[in-house]
Structure 1
Amino acid sequence: MSSVVIKEIAKYLPKVVKTRAEMRTHFAAVGASVDSLFDVGGRENHPYIEDYRHENTVTMATAACRNLFEKASWDLSRVDGLFFVSDSPEYTVPSNAVAVVHALGGGNDGSVKFVMDLNQNCTGLLSAFDMVSAYMKSRKDLKRCVLVSAFNSTHVSNPDDPVTYGFLTDGSSAVLMERIEEDGKGVIDSDTLIGTDGWELMSFPAAGYSRVFKEETDLKQRTLRWDVGPSGWIPEKYMEVLPGLLERNGLTEVDVDYFICSQFHEGLVHKTCELMGSSPEKWLFVSREYGYAGNASPAFAFEEGLNSGKFTAGKKVVWFSFGAGFTLSALLYQL
């Protein structure tokens, strides 16, 4: 039996990082106070693209891949497939994965056999990792693949909105996946939960693509609609999935070494930790330092676990996230 494991992981963040003080000044100009929001949500630093004419999801994803190859001492010629994950893509034609492969200097010699764009909003990276892992096990010519995720909040957010522009940031992560002939590693099991009531309350573009280019569509309708209200109910949804995921694998909370919850809101991380009866030291949250770059952020936390020495061989990690619509994805991963 084979397993698909994370061989290496890297990220890219824009060079411009706005501090809490700078964000406070920015929103004071529109009559909004953000300190209480940042306190409970867990925000200090906010990496942002400075100039959309020079940076976007493709350029960030390319930079993350280059950082990945540098860490792994690899290059694109050793990669069989590249999967791009984003809900703020630069293109729908061609696929952003093709654009990244081209930017990395490859794609014309046949070494990269498969590319695809994927999206499930904030749960995109987790579900894509689950799906690509299964696909790599069934397609034997895909031994090594890159899963790169990117989020460009500058492109989708209203700069006067503390929740979208204040809470969301820009960034990209790249994960090098490798199939090994060893059983019991990588994704051991996964689960999902889907709900569609109020799906339209969070949408981008707010007007839909059929209207976004029409003259009568104003800027607000071209950016991200965020009318979902308080999110305190989300940890209860996690509890509909996590205990069952562990139970069917013969595990309890005690058997899990680390949890990577959604990096969107630190308060929700603490609440879920309490509901699980867990120790806070087992829960990784990195958005105070890196901001929240949507689907890319769970990988920021996973990389932190590797770099800190916490994630060593044999450790069990549960990572899970929550996305618009809603979608909930959870993975049980064995290092």
Structure 2
Amino acid sequence: MSNSSSAAHSGIAARIFDVATHVPERILSNEELAADFPDWPAGKILEKTGIRERRIAAPDETALDLATAACTSLFERRPDLRMRVDFIILCTQAPDHVLPTSACLLQDRLGMRTGIGALDINLGCSGFVYGLSVAAGLIATGSARTVLLATADTYSKYINSRDKSVRTLFGDGAAATIVTSDDIGSASIGPFVFGTDGAGADRLIVPAGGFRLPRSADTVIESEDRSGNVRSAENLFMDGGAVLNFTLREVPRTFRSLLDRGGLAPTELSAVILHQANKFLLDALQKKLGLDDAIVPRRYELIGNTVSSTIPFVLEQELAAGRITTGSRVALIGFGVGLSWAGALVGF
């Protein structure tokens, strides 16, 4: 494990104050996918992935649009928060532009004051926990009191329509999370545990489109793999077996390290919220961790794998249902593209 930190143990404590989410209108159902992949019926897709449908951004709809909608939803519910925010963090791997920073555009779209900080984080499935650590760090040092953490991705725009290995899994979505200083003193964010293995970067990648391999006539040439999936260098590629092996190796280590650093037993946790990759992976991971269904909430059946937003989607669900409330202690673990992983203990 590469390193760890705890904003809860130094400076001012931070807390998760509120969460709101947003998904685009278009629904991609298993029945529609089955029509494109006749050898994979709708029931088989549901059985393997746990996903019944996923939401897909419109051609002219970007991750920034989704983030704006999620933040707007949050501020409509809590209008007092808009002017209290003094820092914006936007986690996305589908920015509107190479530059400027999408978080700057989000500040303007939301009509927020100019005397605030704004930055982007380019991370995928571990991005929410990383963003949470930055937000908590800003608060712990007194650099901010209220941070807007937005997560948004549109992986569908990277996916070849003839690649069932990833098209069945990913959905587009966004979340807005408010992180504030905890004046009461009962809540906390941290400790954190982080990990990185860049040697596995090619296991989950869009090879072309950056400056290492710019788009060209060659990068749009499609090829078919041994499983019948079609993609070009401009499309998302995932080595599912390698990602599964990495996850089963690193997530249990991260979980044990979090418990050790927090001085907790698994029975003291109200919930363990994992990145919502798919049913097959989560079933294997939950078995490896030895955790009961009651402590591992899920939310992917109607939205798919929303990358950096999967954890806040579950948080929103559990907070609304009252299963996470004042006094709850929760473990959050994100893992995926990078290869990258991160865990956090959060007290409510």
TM-score, length of structure 1 as denominator length:
0.91
Secondary structure at 2:241 match in 1: coil
Does the CA contact (< 8 Å) of 2:31 and 2:41 recur in 1?
no
Superposed counterparts of 1:197-236, under 5 Å: 197-206=199-208, 208-218=210-220, 220-229=232-241, 231-233=243-245, 234-236=247-249
What residue is the counterpart of 1:312 in the other structure?
A: 325
Instruction: Report the identity percentage.
Output: 19
Counterparts of 2:207 and 2:108, CA distance in 1: 27
What residue is the counterpart of 1:290 in the other structure?
A: 303
What residue is the counterpart of 1:144 in the other structure?
A: 146
Does the CA contact (< 8 Å) of 2:208 and 2:219 recur in 1?
no
Secondary structure at 2:83 match in 1: helix
Counterparts of 1:174 and 1:143, CA distance in 2: 16
When residues 202 and 230 of structure 1 are mapped into structure 2, their CA distance, relative to the original with a 3 A threshold, is closer
1:135 aligned to 138, 141, 147, which one?
Answer: 138
Counterparts of 2:48 and 2:344, CA distance in 1: 26
Counterparts of 1:4 and 1:261, CA distance in 2: 21
Amino acid of the structure 2 residue aligned with 1:93: L
Q: Deviations over 1:122-166 (max 9, x none)?
A: 1011111112211222134x1111000101022111111112222
What residue is the counterpart of 2:55 in the other structure?
A: 47
Does 1:126 find its partner at 2:129? yes
What residue is the counterpart of 1:79 in the other structure?
A: 85
Secondary structure at 1:167 match in 2: coil
Counterparts of 1:226 and 1:32, CA distance in 2: 19
Secondary structure at 2:264 match in 1: coil
TM-score, length of structure 2 as denominator length:
0.88
Q: Which ranges in structure 1 are unaligned for 5 or more consecutive residues?
A: none
What residue is the counterpart of 2:338 in the other structure?
A: 325
Cα displacement (A) at 1:33? 5.3
What residue is the counterpart of 2:35 in the other structure?
A: 25
Does the CA contact (< 8 Å) of 2:190 and 2:345 recur in 1?
yes
Does the CA contact (< 8 Å) of 1:260 and 1:298 recur in 2?
yes
Secondary structure at 2:334 match in 1: strand
Does 1:302 find its partner at 2:315? yes
Cα displacement (A) at 1:73? 2.7
Does the CA contact (< 8 Å) of 1:2 and 1:182 recur in 2?
no
Which moved further from structure 2: 227-236 or 144-153? 227-236
Counterparts of 1:279 and 1:258, CA distance in 2: 10
What residue is the counterpart of 2:24 in the other structure?
A: 14
Does 1:266 find its partner at 2:279? yes
Counterparts of 1:226 and 1:236, CA distance in 2: 18
Q: Which ranges in structure 2 are unaligned for 5 or more consecutive residues?
A: 1-10, 222-231
When residues 161 and 64 of structure 1 are mapped into structure 2, their CA distance, relative to the original with a 3 A threshold, is same
When residues 269 and 228 of structure 1 are mapped into structure 2, their CA distance, relative to the original with a 3 A threshold, is closer
When residues 43 and 326 of structure 1 are mapped into structure 2, their CA distance, relative to the original with a 3 A threshold, is same
Cα displacement (A) at 1:276? 2.6
Cα displacement (A) at 1:79? 1.4
Counterparts of 1:188 and 1:58, CA distance in 2: 28
What residue is the counterpart of 1:247 in the other structure?
A: 260
When residues 38 and 88 of structure 1 are mapped into structure 2, their CA distance, relative to the original with a 3 A threshold, is farther
When residues 245 and 57 of structure 1 are mapped into structure 2, their CA distance, relative to the original with a 3 A threshold, is same
Amino acid of the structure 1 residue aligned with 2:267: V
When residues 325 and 34 of structure 1 are mapped into structure 2, their CA distance, relative to the original with a 3 A threshold, is farther
Q: Deviations over 1:30-73 (max 9, x none)?
A: x65564344232101210113x22x1011111011100101223
Q: What count of residue pairs does the alignment treat as equivalent?
A: 327
Counterparts of 2:283 and 2:238, CA distance in 1: 23
When residues 228 and 45 of structure 1 are mapped into structure 2, their CA distance, relative to the original with a 3 A threshold, is closer
What residue is the counterpart of 1:63 in the other structure?
A: 69
When residues 139 and 266 of structure 1 are mapped into structure 2, their CA distance, relative to the original with a 3 A threshold, is same
Counterparts of 2:200 and 2:289, CA distance in 1: 27
What residue is the counterpart of 2:12 in the other structure?
A: 2
Counterparts of 2:307 and 2:122, CA distance in 1: 11
Counterparts of 2:124 and 2:181, CA distance in 1: 26
Superposed counterparts of 1:170-185, under 5 Å: 170-183=172-185, 185=187
Secondary structure at 1:284 match in 2: coil
What residue is the counterpart of 1:98 in the other structure?
A: 104
Q: Deviations over 1:68-103 (max 9, x none)?
A: 101223353221111110112222211101111111
Does the CA contact (< 8 Å) of 1:150 and 1:173 recur in 2?
yes
Counterparts of 1:266 and 1:252, CA distance in 2: 26
What residue is the counterpart of 2:3 in the other structure?
A: none
Does the CA contact (< 8 Å) of 1:149 and 1:174 recur in 2?
yes
